[in-house]
Amino acid sequence: MKRRIFIGFTLLVAAFVLVAVLVTGNLVRTVARKQLLDQVVQEAEQISQELVGKDPRQALAGLISSSRVTLVASDGAVLFDNWADGELDNHADRPELAAAAREGSGSAIRYSDTTNSTAVYYAQRLEDGTLLRVAAPERLARGLAQGVAPFLVIAFLLLMALLLLFANIILDRLIKPIVSIDLDHPEDAVVYDELLPLVKRIDQQNKHTIAQMDALEARRMELNTLVNGMHEGFVAMSLKDEIILINPSACSMLGVTEDQALGKGLPAINRSPVILMVLEELRSLGTADGLLEKDGRVYMLLANRIQGRSGAILLLSDQTDKLQAEDMRKRFTANVSHELRTPLTTICGYAELLDKGMVKSEDAGQFYGVILRESKRMLTLVEDILRLSKLDEGHLAGQKAAVNLHEVAKAVSQSLELMADERKVHLSYEGTDAWVLGDATLLDELCSNLIDNAIKYNVENGTVKVRVTNCAQAILTVTDTGIGIEKEHQPRVFERFYRTDKSRSKATGGTGLGLSIVKHAAEFHKAKITLQSQVGQGTSITVVFPALRAQS
Ligand code: ADP
* Residue 327 phi, psi dihedral angles, 5° rounding: -60, -45
Question: Which amino acid, one-letter code, is at 121?
Answer: Y
Res 144: pLDDT: 62
**3-class SS of residue 509:** coil
Q: Distance from CA of residue 271 to its chain's centroid?
A: 31
- CA–CA distance, 206 with 23 (Å, rounded to integer): 54
Q: Is residue 511 in contact with ligand 1, taking CB distance under 6 Å?
A: yes
- Report whether residue 495 contacts ligand 1, using a CB cutoff of 6 Å: no
Which residue has the least CA distance to atom 23 on ligand 1? 454
CB 287 within 8 A of CB 303: yes
Residue 463, exposed/middle/buried by CB under 10 A (0-12, 13-18, 19+)?
A: middle
Q: Rounded distance, CA 73 to CA 88, Å?
A: 12
Ligand 1 and 247: CB distance under 6 A: no
Give me the pLDDT at residue 142, please.
65
CA distance 282 to 315: 13
388 in ligand 1 pocket by Cβ < 6 Å? Answer: no
Write b or e for each residue in 124-152: b if 16 or more Cβ atoms lie within 10 A of its Cβ, otherwise e.
bbbeeebbbbbbbbbebbbebbeebeeeb
End-to-end Cα, the chain, rounded Å? 75
- Predicted local distance difference test score (pLDDT) of residue 140: 62
Q: What is the best residue among 391, 515, 517, 534 to mutate for testing ligand 1's pocket, by most ligand atoms within 8 Å of CB?
A: 515
Q: Is 547 helix (H, G, I), strand (E, B) or coil?
A: coil
pLDDT of residue 192: 79
Counting atoms of ligand 1 from 1, which one is nearest the CA of 502? 14
What's the pLDDT at 143? 64
Say yes or no: CB of residue 482 within 6 Å of ligand 1. yes
For ligand 1, is residue 454 a contact (CB within 6 Å)?
A: yes
* CB of residue 462 inside a 6 A radius of ligand 1: no
Q: How far is CA 161 from the centre of its chain?
A: 55
61 CA to centre of own chain:
109
How far apart CA 232 and CA 247 sit, in angstroms, is 9
Ligand 1 contact via 499 beta carbon (within 6 Å) = yes
403 C-alpha to center of ligand 1: Å? 26
- How much is the pLDDT for 552? 47
Nearest CA residue ID for atom 7, ligand 1: 514
Name which residue sits closest to atom 12 of ligand 1, judged by CA.
493
Show Cβ contacts of residue 188 under 8 Å, excluding neighbours closer than 6 positions: 182
| Closest protein CA for atom 11 of ligand 1 | 499
Instruction: Report CA(368)–ligand 1 centroid distance (Å).
Output: 28
Beta bridge partners of 470: 474
Per-residue pLDDT of the chain in tens (552 residues, 90 and over written 9)? 777 877 887 888 788 878 887 888 788 778 888 888 999 999 999 988 888 888 877 888 877 888 889 999 989 998 888 887 778 888 889 999 999 999 999 999 988 877 788 889 999 998 888 999 999 887 765 666 667 777 877 887 888 888 888 888 888 888 888 888 887 887 777 777 887 888 888 888 888 999 999 999 999 999 889 999 999 999 999 888 899 999 999 999 999 999 999 999 999 998 899 999 999 999 888 899 999 999 899 999 999 998 766 789 999 999 999 998 888 888 888 888 888 888 899 999 999 999 999 989 898 999 999 999 899 989 988 988 888 888 777 766 567 899 999 999 999 999 999 999 999 999 999 999 999 999 999 999 999 999 999 999 999 999 999 999 998 899 999 999 999 999 999 999 999 888 887 777 777 777 889 999 999 999 999 999 999 999 999 999 999 999 876 444
Backbone angles phi, psi at 238, to 5 degrees: -80, 180
Judge whether 302 and 315 are in contact, CB under 8 Å.
yes
Q: By C-alpha distance, which of 509, 504, 458, 500 is closest to 479?
A: 458
482 beta partners:
none
DSSP for 474-489? EEEEEEE-SS---TTT
**Atom in ligand 1 nearest the alpha carbon of residue 510:** 2
Determine if ligand 1 sits within 6 Å of the CB of residue 452: no
What's the rounded Cα separation, in Å, for the pair 252 and 249? Answer: 5
**d(C-alpha 476, C-alpha 140), whole Å:** 140
Ligand 1 pocket mutation, candidates 457, 480, 486, criterion most atoms within 8 A of CB: 457
**Residue 493 CB less than 6 A away from ligand 1:** yes
CA 490–ligand 1 middle distance (angstroms): 10
